[in-house]
Amino acid sequence: MSYNTREKWTHRLHEIIFEADTKAGKTFDVILIFSIVVSVLVVMLDSVAEYRAMYGDWFYSIEWFFTILFTVEYFLRIISVKKPSGYIFSFYGLVDLFSILPTYISILLPGSQYFLVIRILRVLRVFRVLKFTQYLIEVNQLQKALASSRRKITVFIFTVVTITVIVGSLMYVIEGTENGFTSIPKGIYWAIVTLTTVGYGDISPQTNLGQMLSAVIMIMGYGIIAVPTGIVTVELSRAQPKGRSTEVCRYCSREGHDSDAEYCKYCGGKLNA
Amino acid sequence: MSYNTREKWTHRLHEIIFEADTKAGKTFDVILIFSIVVSVLVVMLDSVAEYRAMYGDWFYSIEWFFTILFTVEYFLRIISVKKPSGYIFSFYGLVDLFSILPTYISILLPGSQYFLVIRILRVLRVFRVLKFTQYLIEVNQLQKALASSRRKITVFIFTVVTITVIVGSLMYVIEGTENGFTSIPKGIYWAIVTLTTVGYGDISPQTNLGQMLSAVIMIMGYGIIAVPTGIVTVELSRAQPKGRSTEVCRYCSREGHDSDAEYCKYCGGKLNA
Amino acid sequence: MSYNTREKWTHRLHEIIFEADTKAGKTFDVILIFSIVVSVLVVMLDSVAEYRAMYGDWFYSIEWFFTILFTVEYFLRIISVKKPSGYIFSFYGLVDLFSILPTYISILLPGSQYFLVIRILRVLRVFRVLKFTQYLIEVNQLQKALASSRRKITVFIFTVVTITVIVGSLMYVIEGTENGFTSIPKGIYWAIVTLTTVGYGDISPQTNLGQMLSAVIMIMGYGIIAVPTGIVTVELSRAQPKGRSTEVCRYCSREGHDSDAEYCKYCGGKLNA
Amino acid sequence: MSYNTREKWTHRLHEIIFEADTKAGKTFDVILIFSIVVSVLVVMLDSVAEYRAMYGDWFYSIEWFFTILFTVEYFLRIISVKKPSGYIFSFYGLVDLFSILPTYISILLPGSQYFLVIRILRVLRVFRVLKFTQYLIEVNQLQKALASSRRKITVFIFTVVTITVIVGSLMYVIEGTENGFTSIPKGIYWAIVTLTTVGYGDISPQTNLGQMLSAVIMIMGYGIIAVPTGIVTVELSRAQPKGRSTEVCRYCSREGHDSDAEYCKYCGGKLNA
């Protein structure tokens, strides 16, 4: 195989595996998503004792089928990229590796049942495919909004952690070990469960003073939960253009027209003319 | 009955049953809503053991009264539309059918108690009437806002599912069967209960590591719950024209102009002239 | 006492009791709020068995002191208004009456312990005073925003009720009596507890299918909780003017200037000149 | 040491301790944050019975090390400021004092275990350092948004408290002592737990009427939780200038111009000239 043929061949392979513009690339993506979903379902069902007892052998066979399939795919990816190390140490490269490695290790180290759970990371592989779809714009807008609210959310989380540390310590003193607040970390855990309005009820205040303080925290939690929502909403509304076109009127040179406008709303001149 | 008389008669019937413009149509709607609400209440109360023991016979009679009433209404609907098959296989046509069928089947198959629950779908019939009321605009605005946020919400739900799959598997490994995390699906169920801040407390982390991870998930949940709220808020504020004048162009009769517009943006005609 | 003197005297009384412009009126309001808060606290503490055992006599005396005070106030209000029946049957007139009546009835009907709870409605009287304070604008803005979102929220609640009716019935069939879903109303109660993310955990799904359906409901609840938030946010942002002045430039006649602008941002002409 | 030397020396000290512009100041801040975090972690872990049993002596030594360090820092702060009393009675001055005092008192009053928890207030000291970082703008924006929504949130909390008082009393009557609603304050505690969607489940309605009322409260809670979110979102979107250019006027050096401005709105000077 001449260098050129190989070059052409890996280029074609790259197009199929990494992109979704061609028909073959799209077919590959559909098969890949289907394989990922099925293999993740098998990992999940295999953890249910009764299903493993009944269908354990089937699960074992299916698991090996997909592991070999993903292994072949992994090496095809390495071959088809120009700089293999770039792919191998990328986020998705590592996810791909961790998706197949545990199955092989399980032969060498029998009984490493919990280790096999790492295969669940396969579910992350679906995101790669998502990137090529029509959802790309939505993914980008959401990422952009979250990225620009990153610093505000950091300040917010920092404040929440401080509140829970102080409130958790206070409740540890008020309620004490006999009511389940056995230590400050336990009190902080309770404070987080309460402030986020999860409220398991595994630990709950029993004393009058404790219940009064909790009530205050919960009403505070109301206001606190409003803050990240406000931050993300503002960023999202900025990430999203307001349906205005950027067109400038040829006659009066003013802009700010709606995207469905046909005439300039200031001078009546024809737009798009 | 001549064809014309029949035509006129079904047209009149259609007006009463399907529309709400005439006085008879409005009366029909009020009676229908009342019948639906009462019959749904009967289905609900009939499921309470003590009430069935006491008023079972009454419930039985009322149920048959409404079933026959709805059956008559069903056939009148079929007769009054131009294309019966179009109605029968429409969403509301099927709901209408499922609202009456179970009662008849219960004679043929005695003991099919759970089957009767399907009648609860009657509650959906109220929405049809809602459409004719002054709430139509609100229904449309909300539907429009949800429809345009559909793709962002899909990406969001996809991300949430991925997070819960990974977190649920992790907790299955950390907490183990002895603390109620008997399988990965159970762990995922716990992760969803926690991330959505429902927090039943039927399964809750017992180990220190598990509680630490939960705390992180809950604080993450704070930020995550902000995303759909942000998406819907932005879409709602777009669905609702802001600062638009209600003026209609004298030349092309179209509206939706900005309050600072001087010329119609569709035909270029002078506004306010 | 001549008619004129009486007229003047009741007018002065009205000013003190119903308004807050004069110094006497403000003093009256402060004393009133203090009395309301103390008497409500006494009603609350009196319901705690141990406190009643210890301070029952004190509570009894304080209760009578405030009841007589509020009774005097009630008759002064009746005297001072022009049309007593208008006040007596108004919302606040009825609240005032229900605040004092139970104490008197308790002498006639001993043992009517639960009846005395009606006195807690006194807490509503504080709102009347709030109306005269600097919070009036905030109260109005919030009321306006809620009023304009009233119809959207009605549609929303209607949808939520429909979902909970269907989901609750489905869970009644899936989980059955043995897992706590003893009737359809109980199932609906569970569905509301879950969809609103309260999640007591007094009833929680035990079967695999039930837990799967719950998980779907919870993730749906995510999106659903976003809707009222979006509605209220949009209405609030409309109720609140954007900090723009309505001034028009004298030179180029354009508006949209910030409220702190001194020169026209389009032509540089002096504003407010 | 001459007055001038002392002056210069305290000025340099002030720069290092209170500011973050110099390299020494930044180093000081990093060491301080590290010390605070470690000492807070020690206080937390010391409250866990098993860790205290194992590493109690280590914790004791580390605690004294940091107490002495913070004491030195405290006195350096007093020396370096122009007006010591201003610092001592400021918020952070008191936090600094409460961070070290309990350790000293624990020698005088052995067994005052719970008293030591006050040291957890050290966590607040981190906020002082945060002020010097790049997060200052975010902190300010969030504070500004919360400050301007202060009055609306007060009205809101006032309304929520009123609702919980009435609903809590009602549930006390409906459910009664046998279902855990032992007093009105307990009923109010339950109402707050429910309305904020925390839902521990330690107290939950058992009667049919109680569950119906709860369901209504929860659906109301939906709408209620929307209000603070709406308030904060609107304020945040106002705190954040939208579509403003970052241009500074060449004539009056002021900024905050709209992106479509051509002339400075303060002095009328041409922008972009």
- Cβ atoms B77, B10 nearer than 8 A: no
Q: What is the mean pLDDT of residues B44-52?
A: 89
| A189 vs B244 pLDDT, higher one | A189
Distance from CA of D90 to the nearest CA of B (A): 32
Split at pLDDT 50, 70, 90, the class of B14 is confident
The pLDDT of residue D234: 87
- Tens digit of each residue's pLDDT (9 = 90 or more) over D65-94: 999 999 999 999 998 888 888 899 998 899
- Tens digit of each residue's pLDDT (9 = 90 or more) over C213-267: 999 999 888 778 888 888 888 888 876 554 445 566 667 766 666 555 667 766 7
The answer to whether C201 contacts B197, with C-beta atoms less than 8 Å apart, is no
Q: Give the least confident one: A246-250, B118-122, D175-179.
A: A246-250
Which residue of chain A comes nearest to C226, CA vs CA? A229
The answer to whether D197 contacts B200, with C-beta atoms less than 8 Å apart, is no
Facing residue for C183 by CB, picked from B48, B236, B237: B48
Which residue of chain A comes nearest to D145, CA vs CA? A227
For B52, counting Cβ atoms within 10 Å of its Cβ (0-12 exposed, 13-18 middle, 19+ buried), the class is middle
For chain D, the chains sharing at least 3 beta-carbon pairs closer than 8 angstroms are A, B, C
Mutate to test the interface with B, among A44, A143, A260 (most CBs of B within 10 A): A44
Distance from CA of B142 to the nearest CA of A (A): 17
Which residues on D lie below 8 Å from B233 (Cβ)? 233
3 state SS of B244 = strand
- Cβ atoms A231, A156 nearer than 8 A: yes
C-D Cβ pairs (cutoff 8 Å, strict):
178
DSSP 8-state assignment for residue D267: T
The answer to whether B197 contacts D200, with C-beta atoms less than 8 Å apart, is no
Distance from CA of B142 to the nearest CA of C (A): 8
Average pLDDT, chain D: 83
Distance from CA of D228 to the nearest CA of B (A): 13
| CA atoms of D213 and C157, how far apart (whole Å) | 15
The pLDDT of residue D158: 86
Nearest to B216 by CA among B166, B265, B266, B251: B166
- Tens digit of each residue's pLDDT (9 = 90 or more) over A34-43: 999 999 999 9
Split at pLDDT 50, 70, 90, the class of A170 is very high
Facing residue for D185 by CB, picked from C48, C123, C265: C48
For chain B, the chains sharing at least 3 beta-carbon pairs closer than 8 angstroms are A, C, D
Split at pLDDT 50, 70, 90, the class of A62 is very high
Q: Where do the H-state alpha helices sit in C131-196?
A: 136-148, 150-175, 184-195
CATH code for the domain defined by A148-238: 1.10.287.70
The answer to whether C200 contacts A197, with C-beta atoms less than 8 Å apart, is no
**Distances, alpha carbon B241 to alpha carbons C228, C235, D209, in Å:** 18, 12, 43
The answer to whether B200 contacts D200, with C-beta atoms less than 8 Å apart, is no
Q: What is the mean pLDDT of residues D15-39?
A: 86
- Tens digit of each residue's pLDDT (9 = 90 or more) over A129-149: 776 566 777 778 888 888 888
Provide, rounded to the nearest whole percent, the portion of chain C with pLDDT above 90. Answer: 30
The answer to whether A193 contacts B199, with C-beta atoms less than 8 Å apart, is yes
Which residues on A lie below 8 Å from B237 (Cβ)? 237
The yes-or-no verdict on residue B273 having pLDDT over 50 is no
**Distances, alpha carbon A237 to alpha carbons A232, B228, C256, C262, in Å:** 9, 13, 21, 30
| CA atoms of A96 and A35, how far apart (whole Å) | 13
- Tens digit of each residue's pLDDT (9 = 90 or more) over B62-96: 999 999 999 999 999 998 888 888 899 998 899 99
| C17 vs B190 pLDDT, higher one | B190
Q: Give the least confident one: B53-57, B200-204, C116-120.
A: C116-120
| CA atoms of A39 and D11, how far apart (whole Å) | 67
Nearest to D209 by CA among C154, C183, C185: C185
The pLDDT of residue A10: 83
The pLDDT of residue C148: 83
The pLDDT of residue D41: 93
Interface residues of D toward B, Cβ cutoff 8 Å, are 197-201, 229, 233
Q: Do domains C3-130 and C148-238 have the same CATH topology?
A: no
Segments making up each domain of chain C, as ranges:
3-130, 148-238
- Tens digit of each residue's pLDDT (9 = 90 or more) over B199-209: 898 889 999 89
The pair of structure tokens assigned to B125 is 């019939």
Main-chain phi, psi angles of A244, to 5 degrees: -100, 145
The yes-or-no verdict on residue D180 having pLDDT over 70 is yes
Facing residue for B263 by CB, picked from A189, A243, A268: A268
The answer to whether C201 contacts A197, with C-beta atoms less than 8 Å apart, is no
Residue type at D74 in one-letter notation: Y
Split at pLDDT 50, 70, 90, the class of A273 is very low
pTM of the model: 0.84
The pLDDT of residue B143: 83
Facing residue for A262 by CB, picked from B182, B238, B265: B265
The pLDDT of residue C34: 92
Nearest to D47 by CA among D124, D125, D126, D120: D120
Distance from CA of A186 to the nearest CA of C (A): 21
Provide, rounded to the nearest whole percent, the portion of chain B with pLDDT above 70. Answer: 83
Facing residue for D197 by CB, picked from B197, B229, B233: B197
Provide, rounded to the nearest whole percent, the portion of chain B with pLDDT above 90. Answer: 30
Q: Where do the H-state alpha helices sit in B21-83?
A: 23-46, 49-80
| CA atoms of B245 and B258, how far apart (whole Å) | 6
- Tens digit of each residue's pLDDT (9 = 90 or more) over B143-168: 888 888 888 888 888 889 999 999 99
Report, in this order, helix, strand and coil percent for chain A, each rounded to 5.
75, 0, 25
Q: Give the least confident one: B107-111, C172-176, D3-7, D252-256.
A: D252-256
Report domain B3-130's class. mainly alpha
Facing residue for B201 by CB, picked from D201, D229, D233: D201
